[in-house]
């Protein structure tokens, strides 16, 4: 499992709006039983994010929670969409900054209903690209 | 010399440490001063200016004064700072009474801390009697020796204190020596640094001078100390930095460097600069971490490999001692493992943080450290026995928590749970994994392998440390106990879990609490206590469902399913199973497993009927759409309705369903099907398919989602100047948001679906639902009329019923029963009379079946014929307007009855056929002369539709029809419009009379008229009607008229009235040949008083002597009224008077010029008595004046019958008063009549219904003469009027 990342955007009703896993190149899709753990951890971390986001002026909240080898980093957008990354090492600020750039543009699309699940393939691809650039490299 | 000679071991002081100051010289003197000195020194803070731009600090100085020894001075390369003497003081006294240098007395005045102290340094005291000689003899030597020693060790921080005793001074007469001694010392030792020698006066007295001298001394002492600190620490730091810069060199050792920097930290700590001390450790921490990270990235340092040795001891953090000497020594000896180093480092950081009153930071850093260490061990690929780290983390968590608890009170801890709860849950987690690892969670308890592992783990803990040995709840004891037995483990694990859950809950971290709860549930499941597990699983599941986290939902459900299975909650288990079987997040195999669970339950239970398990359908299959045939979902009684539904099976494998049933609610609403049809057009697609919304989106929608915050800005402005007073944000739906959340409702318990048992059920048996879409068709024969609402959909698998409790949108179908019905309607917009017209017959059979031989009996009216053609065909349509067949229609007409044999047709069909009917112009009715419009008479009701416009007159024909299905006759009214309007008029030329008939075609059709005749039905032989018409036939186009004229000639005195009948044959112009001859169109009217009685002739003559009339000059108007006949029948009225066989009648004439060409001078009207005799003439002369030039028409002369007063009339006019009213008012009251006689306009008034003049007086009456009786001979004549002067002005009036 090491080397992979899990990224999720959580909407206002605490529901996942967008999810993506980044696996290091060459590594096969890991065993299924980790997927739910990702969600479990991200979900439990919401408690911490909800507390921390009011303690900081920054959108990037750094590491908000830890679980065994997992670190949970969070980023809260201006409209309080909570973005969470599960990772093992290093800070993830660059990814979040890149992502926020992308998300802002996407959220301004009048056909996108705010906080609803993001069904866009283009968005998917772009996040995948960001992940490759900032997380996996 | 009692002081130990051996070099002091490198002692470690904690708070007891103070910077060392050595004392040389007179020890007795110093002993006497020491108490005051040690008390006074820290009293006032001193500003410490720092190097490298660090902020200056106020610092309270304390010192450890020790006797000077050469050994104390650091040798080259000794980096020990703690034992470094920062200042050397030489004490000496002047003016002592005796000179008795004694070195026997040694006084110990340093305080030693029990643990560390091996310092028993006795101070070497020298009592010196100072006078010049003594100074020269002994003190100078001593001082020189002292200085030389310092110089040899290049120590420059020294001070010479000369104590001056007042009492002794008094005894002394010579003041000079003292001064000279101080000066001497300064001179001898302090070259250029005279401030190195300080005088302390009367230190033990209480005088202002003493005080002053003390202050000066203390300031000097402090300054010197600080200068020494700055210098020596700066040098130390420089050395340290140099050492750090060498870290890339091969031989560099982190541990060595660690000891150096820690030395600095110690000094800062000694100076109570904890912040600075902490910085040193944090720097070490960061440096080490960076090395580990770099190592992970492949950049390994040699010294690091040492830390990669396998972990053999995991006894956790030790925070109860300020300094863990064991670990420190390990580091110093370079034998520490990574855990040792980290533990030691953290314990120092912890100590400093606690000094700084920051216990919560300890907790936070501890959590980071514990996670970090685990990571680092992984990065360094250190081999760790399984469970060792868990032990270490568990012990460390508890150690940190207990350490914090030890220095905070309960209230502080309670209000800072947020900081500690992480450690609690981490400890819980680790204990859990230890339990799983060591077989303490299994039902049977640990096996031998597990026991071995436990022993190994306990061995790694070592022995309990002495400082906790007496504590009952030490982490060590807890862990040991927890690992000792299954029961103890359970107790500790539950304690921790509950504590963690409680803490999480109390600070609102519900999700984290649920997460711990889920672990707890898993534990309970392992312990075979599903009843305890259920509540946690339900709680967690509810939370995940509410927030829509699909994978946790699936995972929790899977656990819940197992739990419910163990609990024997059949219904809940089956429901959860069905949800899981339809869950796409599970593997195919897992889904099939749960599906089989349902099926096997279903097959097992078939032998015990009666017990039904009702489950919601949506997790089993989803209703996608529904389709009715017929598509409008309306069916007649006995008809067949089929309902086709698409069920999308969510199961991973084919499932055999015994029965799919739709429960139908029946309500009797007769003839309601039209409403339904309307509804269907609105809600159904045109093909009769109803789509049901898919119930579950890919992610479940939050079910108890709170409404979003409704925030509004609020501005409150001052009413006076509109300036902003307050502003804020208001939440308008606080009541919704702060409502108590219902915590008891469970989302997954059985949904309480009630199974309806209705009489009306659509069923379909033995269906196998394949995964995905399945089409199921229900067929039903409609029985009772009414509305059927589809309520529930239920699929039965054994005793399991999957029920969709409500179909939404609502679906209905209607069954109707219809009475047979006959409808007759024209094909065109309206029927025209007189020509054949098509009429459509529609028989809706309804529930009646038309048999062969059934016929419609039309009792036809005389004036309407039903035209029979041989080739009449009837078409039979089905209920859905599909043509079923057609058949020849037999129509038999007898006198009164037309019989139409219907073709055989089944129930709920429609028979349609067309027949031609003809409305005959029936027997004429006399139209009076006053009747302007000629009317065809009608057989039935005569509709009074003679509007002034172009409306056709209509005739209604009622037909009574006997239908085979009813004993009652159906009466049908057909309305025919008469296409023509006929008018007539009488024209006169003197005594010659003409009759003109105008036929106007009002219809849209063109007709051909032929054989126009006008006859006198009374066949009066004396009258002849001579036609003056064009040849027939004549074409009459739509909306056009044709005129016919006859001259009326008579041989004898004509009758006062004449009856005429006009008849003309008409046929459609484009009709081709008609099968039957059409009857001519007739028009009857009466002409009255058509004989001319009076001839009126008017003439205007120019004034005598002139040729033409001139404007403005009077002309004479001659009117002659000539009677043309003798007494006739028509003259016999009230106006007729008889005298001497002569008859006369009274007439009134009136001259009116409506065009205002003429001004009538004098009376314009008058009453004359007219003899009733042929050629009797009355002449009237009047004067008129032309107002314009040109050819002017003559003024009108009107003639009225002047009837005497008649008592029966209430409204009569006084003739005189009327006449005198100058005729002007006449115009207003006289009714204008339509064109009557002779081409001229005829004005008259039968009744002058004037309002103003009526005074109830008897008045004569005026009666207009019928137009035929007066002939105006001068109508149309004109008179030339020339302008009065030659002014060449021509006024032309055009009227």
In tens, the pLDDT along B697-750 reads 444 444 445 567 778 888 888 878 888 888 888 887 777 777 665 443 434 444
**Cα B763 off chain centre by:** 40
Query: Is B675's pLDDT higher than 80?
Result: no
- Residue of A39, A42, A51, A137 to mutate, interface with B, max B Cβ within 10 Å: A39
Note the pLDDT tens digit of each residue in B1109-1126: 888 888 888 888 888 887
Complex ipTM: 0.91
Inter-chain touch B374–A68, beta carbons under 8 Å:
yes
Please answer whether residues B1238 and B1271 qualify as being in contact, where contact means their C-beta atoms are separated by less than 8 angstroms: yes
Chain A positions in Cβ-Cβ contact with residue B515 (cut-off 8 Å): 40, 43-44
Option in A15, A39, A51 nearest B418 (CB): A51
Inter-chain touch B552–A35, beta carbons under 8 Å:
no
| Buried/exposed A3-31: b ≥16 CB within 10 Å, e otherwise | bbbbbbbbbbbbbbbbbbbbbeeeeeeee
Option in A15, A35, A66 nearest B367 (CB): A66
Distance CA B26, CA B908 (A): 139
Distance CA B632, CA B685 (A): 10
Note the pLDDT tens digit of each residue in B15-74: 467 788 888 888 888 888 888 888 888 888 888 877 777 788 888 888 888 888 777 777
Determine the pLDDT at residue B553.
Answer: 92
Query: Is B1141's pLDDT higher than 90?
Result: no
Distance CA B811, CA B641 (A): 14
| Buried/exposed A121-131: b ≥16 CB within 10 Å, e otherwise | eebeebbeebb
Note the pLDDT tens digit of each residue in B1034-1058: 888 888 898 989 888 888 777 777 8
Q: Three-state SS for B1146?
A: strand
Determine the pLDDT at residue A63.
Answer: 86
B236 Cβ neighbours under 8 A, 6+ residues apart: B79, B81, B263, B264, B267
DSSP H or E stretch at residue B1218 = helix B1215-1220
Option in B512, B547, B551 nearest A13 (CB): B547
Kindly report the nearest CA distance between residue B816 and chain A, in angstroms. 47
Query: Is B1247's pLDDT higher than 50?
Result: no
Length of chain A: 137
Determine the pLDDT at residue B393.
Answer: 92
Q: For residue B862, which of B792, B902, B916, B920 has the smallest C-alpha distance?
A: B920
Distance CA A3, CA B296 (A): 13
Kindly report the nearest CA distance between residue A40 and chain B, in angstroms. 6
The tokens describing B63, both together, are 């010192």
Query: Is B517's pLDDT higher than 90?
Result: yes
Query: Is B278's pLDDT higher than 90?
Result: yes
Determine the pLDDT at residue B1006.
Answer: 87
Distance CA B113, CA B119 (A): 9
The tokens describing B70, both together, are 């050469």
Task: Look at B728 and B188; give whichever has higher pLDDT.
Answer: B728
**Cα B431 off chain centre by:** 49
Option in A43, A51, A89 nearest B552 (CB): A43
Q: In chain B, what's the furthest Cα-to-Cα distance? A: 208
The contacts found for B1046-1049 with CB under 8 angstroms, 24 or more apart, are B1046/B994, B1046/B995, B1046/B997, B1046/B1014, B1047/B992, B1047/B993, B1047/B994, B1047/B995, B1048/B993, B1048/B994, B1048/B995, B1048/B1023, B1048/B1024, B1048/B1087, B1048/B1090, B1049/B1023, B1049/B1024, B1049/B1025
Distance CA B840, CA B826 (A): 6
A80 and chain B: CB distance < 8 Å anywhere?
no
Q: Three-state SS for A130?
A: helix
Inter-chain touch B375–A47, beta carbons under 8 Å:
no
For the segment B526-549, the average pLDDT, to the nearest whole number, is 90
Inter-chain touch A36–B554, beta carbons under 8 Å:
yes
Please answer whether residues A81 and A89 qualify as being in contact, where contact means their C-beta atoms are separated by less than 8 angstroms: no
Determine the pLDDT at residue B1231.
Answer: 39
- Neighbour tally for B204: CB within 10 Å: 13
A62 and chain B: CB distance < 8 Å anywhere?
no
Please answer whether residues B1009 and B990 qualify as being in contact, where contact means their C-beta atoms are separated by less than 8 angstroms: no
Report the residue of chain B nearest A69, measured CA to CA. B375
Note the pLDDT tens digit of each residue in A77-134: 988 899 999 988 766 788 999 999 999 988 888 888 877 888 889 999 999 999 888 8
Option in A66, A89, A117 nearest B699 (CB): A117
Note the pLDDT tens digit of each residue in B737-747: 776 654 434 34
Chain A positions in Cβ-Cβ contact with residue B552 (cut-off 8 Å): 36, 39-40, 43
Chain A positions in Cβ-Cβ contact with residue B519 (cut-off 8 Å): none
Note the pLDDT tens digit of each residue in A23-64: 877 666 555 557 788 899 999 999 899 988 988 889 998 888
A46 and chain B: CB distance < 8 Å anywhere?
yes
- Neighbour tally for B946: CB within 10 Å: 13
Report the residue of chain A nearest B378, measured CA to CA. A69
Q: In chain A, what's the furthest Cα-to-Cα distance? A: 41
A48 and chain B: CB distance < 8 Å anywhere?
yes
Distance CA B226, CA B21 (A): 12
CA distances from B170 to B28, B200, B272 (A): 21, 16, 44
Q: For residue B380, which of B459, B296, B482 has the smallest C-alpha distance?
A: B296
For the segment B960-987, the average pLDDT, to the nearest whole number, is 86
Distance CA B681, CA B161 (A): 115
Residue with the two structure tokens 């008045």: B1259
Query: Is B396's pLDDT higher than 90?
Result: yes
B720 Cβ neighbours under 8 A, 6+ residues apart: none
Inter-chain touch B702–A14, beta carbons under 8 Å:
yes
CA distances from B675 to B669, B679, B809, B1103 (A): 10, 6, 17, 91
Task: Look at B1148 and B681; give whichever has higher pLDDT.
Answer: B1148
Q: For residue B748, which of B881, B920, B558, B593 has the smallest C-alpha distance?
A: B558
| Number of cross-chain residue pairs from A and B with Cβ atoms under 8 Å apart | 76
A51 and chain B: CB distance < 8 Å anywhere?
yes
Determine the pLDDT at residue B584.
Answer: 87
Option in B429, B504, B511 nearest A46 (CB): B511
Inter-chain touch B508–A46, beta carbons under 8 Å:
no
Inter-chain touch B548–A46, beta carbons under 8 Å:
no
Query: Is B501's pLDDT higher than 90?
Result: yes
Note the pLDDT tens digit of each residue in B120-157: 333 333 333 445 667 777 777 888 888 888 888 777 78
Distance CA A28, CA A7 (A): 18
Inter-chain touch B552–A88, beta carbons under 8 Å:
no
Chain B positions in Cβ-Cβ contact with residue A82 (cut-off 8 Å): none
Chain B positions in Cβ-Cβ contact with residue A69 (cut-off 8 Å): 371, 374-375, 378
**Cα B912 off chain centre by:** 53
Q: What is the DSSP letter of B1208?
A: T
Kindly report the nearest CA distance between residue B363 and chain A, in angstroms. 14
Option in B375, B515, B708 nearest A44 (CB): B515
List % helix, strand, coil for chain B (3-state, nearest 5).
Answer: 30, 30, 40
Determine the pLDDT at residue B753.
Answer: 56
Please answer whether residues B1177 and B1123 qualify as being in contact, where contact means their C-beta atoms are separated by less than 8 angstroms: yes
Query: Is B1185's pLDDT higher than 60?
Result: yes
Instruction: Quote the Cα angle for B628-B629-B634, to 5°.
Output: 80
Quickly state the pLDDT bin for B1246 (edges 50, 70, 90). Answer: very low
A26 Cβ neighbours under 8 A, 6+ residues apart: none
CA distances from B139 to B129, B182, B184, B1085 (A): 9, 12, 11, 176
Distance CA B1241, CA B1234 (A): 8
Inter-chain touch A43–B554, beta carbons under 8 Å:
no
**Cα B966 off chain centre by:** 59
Residue with the two structure tokens 């490198």: B10
A125 Cβ neighbours under 8 A, 6+ residues apart: none
- Residue of B364, B369, B511 to mutate, interface with A, max A Cβ within 10 Å: B511
Report the residue of chain B nearest A51, measured CA to CA. B509
Inter-chain touch A36–B509, beta carbons under 8 Å:
no
Query: Is B1253's pLDDT higher than 60?
Result: no
Distance CA B863, CA B924 (A): 12
DSSP H or E stretch at residue B148 = helix B140-152
Instruction: Quote the Cα angle for B755-B757-B761, to 5°.
Output: 110
Inter-chain touch A15–B511, beta carbons under 8 Å:
no
Query: Is B225's pLDDT higher than 80?
Result: yes
Determine the pLDDT at residue A28.
Answer: 60
Inter-chain touch A16–B699, beta carbons under 8 Å:
yes
Least confident interval from A123-132, B395-404, B1184-1193: B1184-1193
Report the residue of chain A nearest B556, measured CA to CA. A36
Strand-pairing partners, residue B1147, are: B1168, B1201
Inter-chain touch A39–B418, beta carbons under 8 Å:
no
Distance CA B307, CA B859 (A): 123
Quickly state the pLDDT bin for B1230 (edges 50, 70, 90). Answer: very low
Inter-chain touch B550–A13, beta carbons under 8 Å:
no
**Cα B1059 off chain centre by:** 84
Distance CA B17, CA B8 (A): 14
Chain A positions in Cβ-Cβ contact with residue B511 (cut-off 8 Å): 43-44, 46-47
Inter-chain touch A46–B296, beta carbons under 8 Å:
no
Option in A15, A47, A69 nearest B548 (CB): A15
Residue with the two structure tokens 């039979």: B876
Instruction: Quote the Cα angle for B622-B623-B627, to 5°.
Output: 160
Report the residue of chain A nearest B430, measured CA to CA. A68
């Amino acid at each position: 499992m090491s080397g992979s990342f899990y990224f999720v955007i959580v909407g206002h009703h605490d529901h996942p709006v967008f999810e993506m896993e980044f696996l290091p190149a060459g590594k096969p899709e890991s065993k299924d039983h980790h997927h739910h753990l990702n969600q479990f951890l991200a979900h439990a971390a919401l408690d911490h994010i909800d507390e921390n986001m009011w303690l900081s002026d920054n959108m990037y909240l750094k590491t908000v929670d830890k679980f065994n080898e997992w670190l949970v980093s969070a980023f809260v957008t201006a409209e309080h969409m909570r973005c969470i990354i599960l990772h093992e090492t290093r800070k993830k600020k660059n990814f979040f900054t890149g992502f926020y750039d992308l998300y802002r543009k996407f959220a301004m699309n009048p056909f996108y209903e705010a906080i609803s699940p993001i069904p866009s393939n283009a968005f998917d691809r772009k996040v995948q690209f960001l992940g490759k650039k900032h997380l996996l490299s | 010399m009692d002081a130990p000679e051996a070099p002091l071991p490198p002692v470690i002081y904690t708070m007891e440490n103070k910077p060392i100051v050595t004392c040389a010289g007179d020890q007795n003197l110093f002993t006497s001063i020491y108490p005051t000195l040690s008390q006074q020194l820290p009293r006032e803070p001193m500003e410490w200016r720092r190097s490298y731009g660090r902020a200056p600090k106020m610092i309270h100085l304390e010192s450890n004064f020790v006797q000077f020894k050469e050994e104390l001075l650091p040798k080259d390369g000794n980096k020990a700072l703690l034992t470094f003497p920062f200042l050397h003081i030489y004490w000496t006294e002047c003016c002592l009474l005796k000179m008795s240098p004694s070195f026997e007395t040694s006084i110990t005045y340093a305080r030693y801390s029990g643990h560390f102290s091996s310092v028993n340094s006795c101070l070497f005291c020298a009592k010196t009697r100072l006078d010049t000689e003594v100074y020269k003899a002994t003190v100078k030597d001593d001082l020189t020796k002292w200085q030389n020693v310092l110089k040899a060790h290049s120590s420059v921080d020294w001070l010479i204190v000369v104590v001056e005793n007042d009492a002794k001074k008094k005894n002394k007469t010579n003041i000079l020596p003292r001064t000279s001694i101080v000066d001497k010392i300064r001179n001898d030792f302090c070259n250029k640094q005279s401030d190195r020698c300080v005088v302390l006066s009367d230190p033990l007295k209480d005088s202002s001078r003493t005080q002053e001298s003390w202050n000066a001394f203390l300031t000097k002492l402090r300054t010197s100390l600080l200068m020494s600190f700055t210098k020596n620490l700066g040098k130390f730091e420089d050395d340290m930095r140099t050492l750090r810069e060498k870290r890339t060199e091969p031989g560099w050792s982190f541990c060595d460097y660690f000891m150096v920097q820690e030395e600095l930290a110690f000094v800062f700590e000694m100076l109570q600069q904890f912040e600075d001390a902490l910085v040193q450790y944090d720097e070490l921490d960061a440096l080490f971490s960076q090395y580990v990270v770099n190592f992970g990235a492949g950049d390994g340092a040699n010294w690091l490999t040492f830390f990669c040795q396998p972990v053999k001891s995991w006894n956790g953090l030790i925070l109860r001692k300020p300094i863990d000497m064991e670990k420190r020594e390990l580091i110093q000896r370079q034998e520490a493992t990574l855990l040792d180093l980290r533990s030691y480092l953290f314990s120092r950081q912890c100590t400093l943080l606690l000094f700084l009153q920051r216990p919560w930071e300890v907790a936070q850093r501890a959590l980071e450290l514990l996670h970090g260490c685990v990571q680092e061990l992984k990065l360094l690929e250190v081999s760790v026995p399984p469970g060792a780290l868990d032990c270490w983390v568990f012990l460390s968590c508890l150690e940190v928590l207990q350490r914090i608890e030890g220095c905070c009170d309960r209230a502080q801890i309670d209000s800072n749970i947020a900081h500690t709860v992480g450690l609690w849950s981490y400890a819980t987690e680790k204990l859990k994994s230890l339990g799983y690892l060591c077989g303490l969670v299994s039902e049977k308890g640990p096996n031998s392998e597990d026991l071995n592992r436990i022993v190994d783990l306990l061995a790694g803990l070592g022995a309990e440390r002495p400082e906790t040995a007496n504590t009952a709840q030490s982490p060590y004891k807890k862990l040991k106990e927890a690992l000792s037995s299954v029961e103890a483990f359970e107790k500790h694990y539950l304690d921790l879990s509950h504590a963690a859950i409680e803490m999480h809950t109390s600070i609102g971290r519900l999700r984290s609490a649920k997460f711990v709860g889920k672990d707890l549930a898993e534990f309970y499941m392992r312990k075979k206590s599903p009843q305890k597990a259920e509540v946690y699983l339900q709680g967690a599941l509810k939370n995940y469902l509410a927030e829509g986290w699909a994978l946790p939902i699936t995972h929790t459900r899977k656990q819940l399913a197992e739990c419910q299975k163990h609990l024997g909650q059949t219904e809940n288990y089956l429901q959860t199973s069905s949800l899981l079987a339809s869950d796409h997040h599970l593997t195919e195999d897992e889904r099939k497993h749960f599906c089989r669970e349902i099926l096997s339950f279903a097959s097992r239970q078939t032998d015990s009927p009666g017990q039904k398990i009702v489950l919601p359908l949506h997790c089993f299959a989803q209703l996608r759409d529904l389709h009715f045939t017929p598509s409008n979902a309306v069916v007649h009684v006995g008809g067949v309705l089929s309902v086709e539904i698409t069920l999308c099976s969510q199961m991973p494998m084919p499932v055999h369903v015994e029965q799919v049933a739709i429960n139908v609610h029946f309500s009797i609403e007769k003839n309601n099907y039209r409403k339904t049809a309307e509804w269907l057009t609105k809600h159904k697609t045109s093909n009769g398919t109803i789509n049901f919304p898919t119930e579950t989106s890919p992610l479940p929608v939050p079910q108890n989602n709170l409404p979003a915050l409704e925030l509004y800005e609020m501005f409150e402005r001052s009413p006076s100047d509109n300036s902003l007073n307050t502003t804020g944000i208001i939440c308008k739906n606080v009541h919704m948001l702060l409502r108590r959340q219902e915590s008891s409702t469970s989302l997954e318990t059985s949904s309480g679906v009630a199974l309806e048992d209705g009489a009306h059920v659509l069923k379909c048996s033995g269906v196998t639902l394949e995964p995905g879409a399945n089409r199921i068709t229900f067929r039903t024969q409609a029985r009772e009329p009414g509305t059927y609402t589809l309520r529930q959909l239920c699929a039965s698998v054994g005793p399991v019923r999957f029920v969709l409790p409500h179909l939404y949108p609502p679906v209905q179908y209607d069954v109707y029963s219809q009475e047979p019905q006959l409808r007759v309607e024209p094909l065109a917009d309206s029927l025209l009379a007189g020509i054949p017209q098509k009429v459509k017959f529609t028989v809706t059979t309804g529930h009646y079946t038309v048999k062969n031989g059934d016929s419609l009996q039309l009792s036809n009216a005389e004036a309407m014929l039903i035209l029979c053609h041989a080739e009449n065909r009837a078409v039979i349509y089905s209920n859905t307007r599909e043509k079923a067949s057609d058949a020849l229609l037999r129509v038999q007409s007898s006198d009164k009855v037309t019989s139409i044999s219907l073709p055989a047709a089944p129930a709920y069909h429609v028979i349609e056929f067309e027949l031609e009917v003809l409305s005959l112009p029936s027997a004429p009715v006399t139209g009076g002369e006053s009747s302007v419009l000629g009317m065809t008479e009608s057989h039935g009701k005569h509709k009074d539709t003679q509007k002034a416009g172009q409306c056709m007159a209509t005739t209604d024909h009622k037909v009574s029809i006997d239908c085979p299905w009813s004993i009652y006759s159906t009466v049908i009214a057909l309305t025919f419009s008469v296409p023509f309007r006929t008018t007539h008029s009488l024209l006169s030329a003197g005594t010659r009379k003409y009759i003109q008939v105008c036929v106007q075609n009002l219809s849209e059709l063109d007709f051909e008229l032929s054989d126009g005749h006008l006859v006198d039905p009374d066949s009066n032989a004396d009258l002849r009607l001579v036609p003056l018409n064009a040849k027939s036939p004549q074409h009459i186009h739509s909306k056009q008229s044709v005129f016919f004229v006859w001259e009326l000639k008579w041989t004898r005195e004509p009758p006062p009235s004449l009856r005429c009948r006009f008849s003309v044959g008409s046929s459609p112009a484009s009709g081709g040949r008609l099968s039957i001859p059409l009857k001519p169109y007739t028009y009857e009217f009466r002409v009255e008083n058509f004989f001319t009685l009076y001839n009126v002739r008017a003439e205007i003559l120019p004034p005598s002597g002139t040729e033409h009339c001139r404007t403005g000059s009077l002309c004479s108007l001659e009117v002659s009224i000539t009677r043309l006949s003798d007494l006739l029948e028509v003259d016999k009225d009230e106006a007729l008077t008889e005298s001497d066989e002569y008859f006369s009648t009274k007439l009134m004439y009136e001259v009116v010029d409506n065009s205002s060409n003429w001004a009538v001078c004098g009376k314009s009207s008058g009453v004359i008595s007219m003899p009733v005799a042929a050629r009797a003439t009355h002449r009237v002369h009047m004067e008129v004046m032309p107002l314009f030039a040109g050819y002017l028409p003559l003024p009108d002369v009107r003639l009225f019958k002047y009837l005497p007063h008649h008592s029966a009339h209430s409204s009569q006019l006084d003739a005189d008063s009327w006449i005198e009213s100058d005729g002007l008012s006449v115009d207003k009251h006289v009714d204008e009549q339509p064109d009557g006689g002779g081409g001229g306009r005829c004005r008259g008034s039968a009744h002058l219904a004037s309002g103003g003049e009526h005074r109830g007086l008897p008045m004569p009456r005026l009666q207009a003469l019928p137009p035929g009786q007066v002939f105006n001979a001068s109508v149309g004549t004109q008179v030339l009027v020339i302008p009065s002067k030659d002014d060449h002005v021509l006024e032309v009036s055009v009227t």
